[in-house]
A and B are shown apart, each in its own frame.
Chain A
Amino acid sequence: MFGQPDLLVGLRDVPAGHEQEMRSPRHARPVDFLTVESLSLSGRIRLMPRFPKPWSKKRGKRILGNALAGEAGELAFYASLFLVGVFGFSLVLINEVAPESVSQVPTDALSTGLGAWIFGILSLAAVITGGVTLLYRLARIGASSERRSAIAKMAGTLEVMAPSKEDSQFLPNVPKGSAITESPGERLKYRLATEKANSGIAGSATLALLWSSAWLVLLAVVVSGFWNGRPRWYLAGLLVPFAMISVWSFRFFLTQFRQFAGVGPTIVEIGNHPLVPGGPCELFISQSGRFKLKRISVVLTCEEETFYRQGTDVRVDRHEAIRQVIVKERNVAVDPQAPWEQQLNIDLPDNVMHSFVGTHNAIRWKVVVSGESQPWPSFCRSFPVVVHPPASS
Chain B
Amino acid sequence: MAIVLPKFSRRRASPGLVVETQPAVNVTLCHEDGLYCAGGELTARWRISRVPLDEVQGVEISVLWHTEGKGDEDLHVHHFQRLAEQQLRRIGLADEQVVHCVLPKTPLSYHGRLISLQWCVRLRLYLANGRDIVAEQPFHLVSQDMARPHKFTSDRVSIGLTNSN
Contacts and interface: CB of A to CB of B under 8 A. Distances in A.
Interface in A140-157: 144-147, 149-150, 153
A42 B27 CA distance: 22
Q: Do most interface residues of chain A lie in helix, strand or loop, or is the interface mixed? A: loop
Given A29-B136, A46-B9, A361-B72, 14 more contacts: A7-B27, A13-B131, A20-B66, A35-B162, A42-B19, A42-B21, A43-B20, A144-B124, A147-B60, A153-B76, A278-B145, A358-B76, A363-B112, A392-B143
Contacts of B112: 304, 319, 321, 353, 363
B3 A31 contact: no
A358 B162 contact: no
| Pairs A-B, 9 closest by C-beta atoms | A306-B71, A33-B34, A150-B80, A46-B9, A358-B74, A35-B161, A360-B72, A149-B77, A146-B62
Interface stretch (A166-174, A183-191, A230-238, A331-339): A166-174
A1 B108 contact: no
Contacts of A5: 165
Contact of A4 (B11, B29, B72, B134): B29
A28 interface: yes
Interface of B: 2-4, 6-9, 11, 13, 17, 19-22, 24-30, 32-34, 38-39, 43, 45, 47, 60, 62, 64, 66-77, 80, 82, 104-108, 110-118, 122, 124, 131-140, 143-146, 149-150, 152-153, 156, 158-165
B99 to A, nearest CB: 13
Contacts of B137: 7, 9-10, 33
Contacts of A146: 60, 62, 64, 75, 77, 80, 122, 124
Given A10-B137, A43-B20, A361 B161 contact: no
A36 B165 contact: yes
A46 B28 contact: no
B126 to A, nearest CB: 9
A33 B163 CA distance: 11
Interface residues of A, number: 81
Contact of A28 (B4, B11, B68, B77): B68
A360 B105 contact: no
A153 to B, nearest CB: 6
Interface string A350-393: 01111010111101000000000000000000000000011110
A306 B75 CA distance: 14
B67 A392 contact: no
B48 to A, nearest CB: 11
A94 interface: no
A173 B28 contact: no
B161 A307 contact: no
Nearest to B108: A389
A305 B70 CA distance: 10
A42 B21 CA distance: 7
B34 A308 contact: no
Nearest to A21: B73
Contacts of B122: 146
B45 A2 contact: yes
Nearest to B22: A40
Given A37-B162, A144-B124, A306-B114, A360 B74 contact: yes
A112 B11 CA distance: 69
Contacts of B33: 33
A14 B134 contact: yes
Contacts of B114: 304-306, 317-319, 361
A297 to B, nearest CB: 20
A170 to B, nearest CB: 7
B2 to A, nearest CB: 5
A33 B116 contact: no
A360 B67 contact: yes
Nearest to B64: A146
A32 interface: yes
Contacts of A9: 25-27, 135-137
Interface in A1-56: 1-16, 19-20, 23, 25-47
B71 A361 contact: yes
Which interface residue of B108, B163, B164 has the most chain A CB atoms within 10 A?
B164
Interface string A181-215: 00000000000000000000000000000000000
Nearest to B19: A42
Contact of B24 (A11, A37, A46): A11
Contacts of B135: 9-12
Contacts of B11: 46
A258 interface: no
Which interface residue of A44, A174, A352 has the most chain B CB atoms within 10 A?
A44
